[in-house]
Structure 1
């Protein structure tokens, strides 16, 4: 039998994101955040391409992004309630990390595998923060998919996208458990 890390397994079997709107200060300091980013960067990365990067968004940067949401939302014809919700995602946050999907040209590693790796970085950062005792939530929303918003707000190249915004902070209330998938309904066993 392989060596078992029961604490890690117990964590993964019970982990639960904390809603971003329930996160407050204090937030991880720079040294702590570097540890969390180091853990996230250990994500599987076929070809060692590093097809992702991080943008750490502190309070002033989040306020600037919040101010851009209505401009881009109106341009896109987004309903007022969706604009308000997306604006609050940035305005009410204390700290977030934008995980940027930044695919590299490669004859061996398809772009889709690089996109998957960026998504895996989001989950790794989320889990690292939760394991370290912080509250964390992975969000996206229409601003993260709008080229105008991500170009103006984050300075992304045309080939880059936002894989997710990982909000970090102190948990102000424990979230309730939610229903989980029925594994029998989503699992197929193939033996031959």
Structure 2
């Protein structure tokens, strides 16, 4: 698949199954992340790979964090849903921004750079026939989750990237008119 085809047609794929991307497919996905726009070359991103039994441990961590947020045990349905979150795909990547002090690159630009890396990975996955989607939610910003994943004090989670084999054919992307989003600025 050529680059423009992947960029024009990439869609999120929410129903994923085994197998996870192979090592060579992962390498392509990971290398794509390294090409993200990155003001001052800070390379503020890093990613944790979570798969196999580690996904269950992540579910337990998410459950502890959710129960702490709620001030007690969740009902059975919410408990089961929380435990199953990491099991949505055979591979979960945690996108992390390492915030650095820099006179020209504020923290929000560093988060944007990580977002650019994630978008590049999603497109690289799509180009290889791998299903992928990006999720956040309140637990991505929970300090217990950050602590349980071993994040440093200057690190923040920017999302969970789910990767696997599409359980069905990806949906067609919406046919959007560029003119709805791009216009010429007219100087006063």
TM band (smaller chain): 0.7 to 0.9
Among 88, 103, 107, the alignment partner of 1:107 is: 103
In the other structure, the counterpart of 2:165 is 170
The unaligned stretches of length 5 or more in structure 2 are: none
Contact 2:9 2:173 in 1 (8 A): no
Could you tell me how far apart the structure 2 residues matched to 1:88 and 1:110 are? 36
1:132-170 C-alpha deviation (Å, 9 max, x unpaired): 111111111221110111211x11112111112111111
Could you tell me how far apart the structure 1 residues matched to 2:184 and 2:81 are? 41
Could you tell me how far apart the structure 2 residues matched to 1:142 and 1:132 are? 31
Could you tell me how far apart the structure 2 residues matched to 1:69 and 1:107 are? 35
Aligned-pair CA distance for 1:27:
1.1
Could you tell me how far apart the structure 2 residues matched to 1:86 and 1:139 are? 14
Matches within 5 A, 1:37-186: 37-77=30-70, 80=75, 84-152=80-148, 154-177=149-172, 184=179, 186=181
With structure 1 as the length reference, what TM-score do the two structures score? 0.84
Structure 1 residues 161 and 82: CA distance shift in structure 2, 3 A: farther
Could you tell me how far apart the structure 2 residues matched to 1:188 and 1:82 are? 45
State the Cα RMSD in Å: 2.3
The alignment partner of 2:53 has SS state of helix
The alignment partner of 1:116 has SS state of helix
Aligned-pair CA distance for 1:30:
2.5
The alignment partner of 1:189 has SS state of coil
How many positions carry a matched residue from both structures? 184
Aligned-pair CA distance for 1:29:
2.3
In the other structure, the counterpart of 2:9 is 14
Task: Show structure 1 runs of 4+ deviating over 6 A.
Answer: none
**Relative contact order higher in (CA < 8 Å, ≥ 6 apart):** 2
With structure 2 as the length reference, what TM-score do the two structures score? 0.86
Could you tell me how far apart the structure 2 residues matched to 1:112 and 1:180 are? 31
